[in-house]
Amino acid sequence: MSALIKYPVSLIRPLYERTSFHRSVIDEMNNDMLKPAYSHCRAITRYYAKTFYMATRFLPNDKQRGIFAIYGYCRYIDNLVDDNVDLINNQCVANEQLSGQLEKLRTKIVDIYAGNIESDDPIFTAFADTFLHYEIPQELPLMLIDGVEQDLHKTRFQNFKEIYDYSFKVASVVGLMTTPVFGYKDEQALNYAADLGIAMQLTNILRDVGEDIDRDRIYLAQDELTAFGLTEQDILHRRLDDRFVEFMKYQIKRAREYYQRAEKGISMLDRNARLPVYLARYNYAKILDKIEENNYDVFTSRAYLTKFEKLSILPQILYKINRAS
């Protein structure tokens, strides 16, 4: 396995996609309307989340399709917001126009749960099939919309509770939607899935401090900045000093605590679904290590993992899964 991961994903993936294992994910379905819908969602996942896409290969076919549908929905919202935010920033459209599109999306979700599942969009054809089959609560996809809409208006956060609430909507909700697809044996797994979402979003926030400043956004609790002797102007002017380093150490410690709690829930998932969740947990946590290696400079350096680094954890995770069986 360690020798295998040295080969670039770009070389392995085309070979895999010619196999019957790859084709069977879609071909085994009996519904000719659902086949192109799930194929479309798989293509979206492949394009936007290459490493995650490879990790889903280890899931059973039905779970792969469910994850592709959920990812397709999440990406639909991201693209809708990103495309319109660019237009809003360039004063081509009003903020209210995007809010109106999000409201239409809410109506579409409510209609699907009411049984009106016909759609011209393959993403929502797959969405209806997956979300209704796995009985994913309606409030979850709606809450995700609330989270991304909040991002349009709120650029400062007074305390960690506000950051937690935002992170729950845009990240924990994704974990709560995917957990029924993965399968679980203990209701507590849902709480741990929420913890993992919080951990990953906190990591995103810390990694992207510099980029967010460029967008006039500070996803750091104002009261915690004050506690470390920092001001909003210190952040906007990218002052990397001892105060900021201590502040970052505190933030990283808290994020790691969420990762540690969340790991308890992975063993509660179906055994055949644990691998991609372990990969997400450990690779995202490694971003925190990278921030430390960059001497906490999140203003001018963006912490990231190479493809090899992302896949190098694979033997360790496979060992962990096999030992737990």
- The whole-number pLDDT of residue 90 equals 59
- 310 or 190, higher pLDDT: 190
Q: Report the alpha-carbon distance of residue 117 to residue 220 in Å, rounded.
A: 40
Residue 5 has pLDDT above 60, yes or no: no
Give which of 228, 257, 231, 223 is closest to 245, Cα–Cα.
228
* Residue 175: both structure tokens together: 């974990």
The arithmetic mean of pLDDT across residues 81-90, rounded, is: 65
Q: Is the model's pLDDT at 1 over the cut of 50?
A: no
- With 0-12 CB in 10 A as exposed, 13-18 as middle and 19+ as buried, what is 164? middle
Distance CA 88, CA 98 (A): 9
Given a cut of 70, whether residue 15 has pLDDT beyond it is: no
Beta bridge partners of 269: 184
Q: Over 80: is that where the pLDDT of 6 sits?
A: no
User: Phi, psi (5° rounding) for residue 247?
Assistant: -60, -45
Q: What is the pLDDT of residue 98?
A: 84
**So what's the pLDDT on residue 13?**
59
Residue 21 tokens, joined: 């294992």
Kindly state the percentage of the chain with pLDDT values over 70: 90
Q: Is the pLDDT of residue 73 over 90?
A: yes
Structure tokens at 251: 């933030």
Q: Around Cβ 129, how many Cβ atoms within 10 Å?
A: 21
Are 169 and 146 in contact, with CB atoms under 8 Å apart? yes
Domains of the chain: 1-131 (no CATH), 154-325 (1.10.600.10)
Least confident of 238-247, 253-262, 274-283, 311-320: 311-320
pLDDT value of residue 4:
45
* Mean pLDDT of the region 9-32: 76
**Per-residue tokens: 317:** 């995770």
The CA distance from 56 to 54, in Å, is 5
Against a cut of 0.85, is the pTM above it?
A: yes
The set of residues, in sequence order, having a beta carbon less than 8 Å from that of 263 and lying 6+ positions away, is 192, 281
**Maximum Cα–Cα distance for the chain, whole Å?**
62
* CA–CA gap between residue 98 and residue 89 (Å, rounded): 12
For residue range 167-220, what is the model confidence (pLDDT) as tens digits?
999 999 999 999 999 999 999 999 999 999 999 999 999 999 999 999 999 999
* Mean pLDDT, the chain, whole residue set: 91
Give percent of the chain above pLDDT 90. Answer: 76
- Write down the pLDDT at residue 2: 42
Nearest 10 degrees: Cα torsion 76, 151, 167, 38: 0
The answer to whether 196 and 259 have CB atoms below 8 angstroms apart is yes
Mean pLDDT of the 22-30 span = 92
Q: What is the pLDDT of residue 88?
A: 52
Which one-letter amino acid corresponds to residue 153?
Answer: H
The confidence band for 44, taking pLDDT boundaries of 50, 70 and 90, is very high
| pLDDT over 80 at 3, yes or no | no
18 vs 270 pLDDT, higher one: 270
| CA nearest to 112, candidates 86, 92, 130 | 130
- For the four alpha carbons of 320, 59, 45 and 155, in that order, the dihedral sign comes to negative
C-alpha gyration radius of the chain? 20
Could you read off the pLDDT of 234-266 as tens digits, one per residue?
999 999 999 999 999 999 999 999 999 999 999
d(CA 121, CA 140) in angstroms, rounded, equals 20
Residue 30, token pair as written in the block: 């009996």
